[in-house]
Chain A
């Protein structure tokens, strides 16, 4: 009876590049696939952290970033019909790609424990959110190396990182298929495309917000975003002169 209920009314609720379908909405092979890929990603990240280590200051920052991400994850704001943000791009820029991936896992585990997201989809959701963090981090570094200012670099990188996560989210749903949906794959793809499109609009809001936060942090503690302070810059210039 429960299965029939799920099949007739799939408890589908996906917000801001975070899949929280009800348990049983993905076929078993898809659950196994995304869980395996998610575990593989976490294994690689853990290995790299163990091998290369991380700056203790960054670990501390990751703790605070995880709290901020977990808080914003659960708040629904009245824009675009009602959405929540993730701050995964901000987490990626501040904590880096390795810790950003770990934070994505931690936030998803806690959220699923509260009923916000299925436990069976932890692998898929970690993949999606880690993509956002990693994309934003490398995008930000790349734009900064191209001599972009902090605000346009962080806002652009965050928006693109979040958009990449949204596209991955859509791809995961289309590849997996949804139990209970009578739509053929082509129509399902169009419907999911509409949701991905909406998520790009949400990425604009979160991207701008991330840009403002990173710009503010850069003005008071540039070391938090991996940049040198004014004093260090003058010191370096003095040495090299």
Chain B
């Protein structure tokens, strides 16, 4: 397919979804954290609101339930475990895996 059609299709999709996203953002209270947004939306229904779409001052934070529950260390531990297992599996498969990529593991 011609490249302009591919990128045009993607652009159309992104523009349409961004538009719907903006409606959802406004209709559910504007720039609110998700927990507050949802409890308000489900208790009181939709209500218009505004605010910045991007709030760099807020930064990237660990999800509330983990942060407030004091589970950040546990999260990091699980993450390290998954990473080590993942890399270990990758190295193992790379050294001992099939050459043609068709052999299957049962």
Interface residues on B, range: 35 or more
The answer to whether A204 and B7 have CB atoms under 8 Å apart is no
Contacts of A71 in B (CB 8 A): 79
Which of A57, A63, A78 is B56 in contact with, Cβ under 8 Å? A78
The docked-state distance in angstroms from the alpha carbon of A165 to that of B37 is 20
The answer to whether B20 and A197 have CB atoms under 8 Å apart is yes
The answer to whether A81 and B51 have CB atoms under 8 Å apart is yes
Q: Which residue of the partner chain A has the closest CB to B74?
A: A114
| Interface positions of A from 158 to 207, Cβ below 8 Å from B | 159-160, 163, 178, 180-183, 187-188, 190-204, 207
The answer to whether A78 and B58 have CB atoms under 8 Å apart is yes
The docked-state distance in angstroms from the alpha carbon of A81 to that of B51 is 8
The answer to whether B69 and A80 have CB atoms under 8 Å apart is no
Contacts of A10 in B (CB 8 A): 39, 42-43
Contacts of B24 in A (CB 8 A): 193-201
Which of B10, B25, B54, B105 is A59 in contact with, Cβ under 8 Å? B105
Contacts of A235 in B (CB 8 A): none
The answer to whether B82 and A70 have CB atoms under 8 Å apart is yes
Known A57-B93, A183-B42; judge A76-B64 contact (CB<8 A): yes
Chain A-chain B contacts (Cβ-Cβ < 8 Å), number: 231
Q: Which residue of the partner chain A has the closest CB to B3?
A: A149
The answer to whether A53 and B106 have CB atoms under 8 Å apart is yes
The answer to whether B79 and A60 have CB atoms under 8 Å apart is no
The answer to whether B89 and A59 have CB atoms under 8 Å apart is yes
The docked-state distance in angstroms from the alpha carbon of A188 to that of B42 is 6
15 A-B pairs with CB atoms under 8 Å apart are A60-B92, A60-B93, A63-B87, A73-B63, A80-B25, A114-B71, A115-B69, A117-B65, A152-B10, A181-B43, A183-B43, A191-B46, A194-B23, A198-B25, A201-B17
Q: Given contact pairs A56-B97, A66-B82, A117-B65, enumerate 12 new A-B contacts (beta carbons under 8 Å).
A: A10-B43, A57-B98, A64-B83, A78-B60, A83-B34, A84-B63, A110-B82, A114-B74, A115-B66, A155-B10, A194-B24, A207-B14
Using a CB–CB cutoff of 8 Å, the interface residues on chain B facing chain A are: 1, 3, 6-7, 9-10, 13-14, 17-18, 20-25, 27-28, 30-35, 37-39, 41-46, 51, 53-66, 69, 71, 74-75, 78-79, 82-83, 85-94, 96-98, 101-106
The 4 lowest CB-CB distance pairs between A and B, nearest first, are A201-B21, A197-B24, A53-B104, A63-B86
